[in-house]
Amino acid sequence: MATIGGGPPFTGSVSYLLSSLGYLSASGFAASLATVDLEPRHFALLQHISGAEGRSQQELGDLLHIPASRMVAIVDELEGRGLLERRVNPRDRRAHALHLTPKGRRALTKSLTLAGQHEERICRALTGAQRDQLLRLLNGVAADLGLRPGVHPGLTQTHRDCPTPPPA
């Protein structure tokens, strides 16, 4: 398994390929989102608000594992551009209820279109059957590793250790 010196089988490691392709996929999608002046974190928040409107910053931050102090800037940015609004919660006037605006919904729709195009680029080399097969295998690994659907682990904490160099 550990072949020092000789040509290392970079193509023989699932973990290394996942790390490299994952980075490529993430950065490629971020570049695509940048064409509509959004970052992945903004997209993630818009999508989760869309899933259930009216939740507080704290609730969404807990769900996405984004600390409260970071949430402020993200919500500020999106509210400043008119994509969402903070409404007063009559039950608890400390907590803001987050809602998408019509403009925010349009931005989300556009982003989802970009995500679809990105998915097609990533899967361009695969037949339909191969893509299904790949999906099954990846979902199996994801379930085994305890990945929570819809919560990207990279949003959770600071991404300081993202890249993985080639294992044996």
Query: Please, which of residues 9-38 interact with its own copies by CB under 8 A?
Result: 10-31
Asked whether position 95 contacts its own copies by CB under 8 A, the answer is: no
Minimal CA–CA distance to 46: which of 90, 95, 101, 4?
Answer: 101
Residues 6+ apart with CB under 8 A from 95: 56, 57, 58, 89
Asked whether position 153 contacts its own copies by CB under 8 A, the answer is: yes
Please, what is the minimum distance in Å from the beta carbon of residue 73 to DNA?
7
Minimal CA–CA distance to 67: which of 155, 152, 154, 147?
Answer: 155
**Binding string to DNA for residues 40 to 59, with x set by CB under 7 A, is what?**
----------------xxxx
92 binds, among its own copies, DNA, none (CB under 5 to 8 A by kind): DNA
* Binding piece for its own copies, criterion CB under 8 A, among 54-62, 71-79, 81-89, 152-160: 152-160
Identify which of residues 9 and 153 has a Cβ nearer to DNA in the complex.
153
- CB contact at 8 A, 104 and 46: yes
Identify which of residues 37 and 119 has a Cβ nearer to DNA in the complex.
37
- CB contact at 8 A, 52 and 92: no
Helix (H) or strand (E) run with residue 87 in it: strand 84-88
For the segment 91-120, give every residue that binds DNA (CB under 7 A). Answer: 92-96
* Binding piece for its own copies, criterion CB under 8 A, among 54-62, 68-76, 78-86, 110-118: 110-118
Helix (H) or strand (E) run with residue 84 in it: strand 84-88
* Binding piece for its own copies, criterion CB under 8 A, among 68-76, 80-88, 89-97, 149-157: 149-157
The radius of gyration computed from the CA coordinates of the chain, to the nearest angstrom, equals 19
**Helix count (H) and strand count (E) of the chain?**
7, 2
Asked whether position 129 contacts its own copies by CB under 8 A, the answer is: no
Sites of contact with DNA (CB under 7 A): 56-59, 61, 67-73, 75-76, 86, 92-96, 157-158, 160
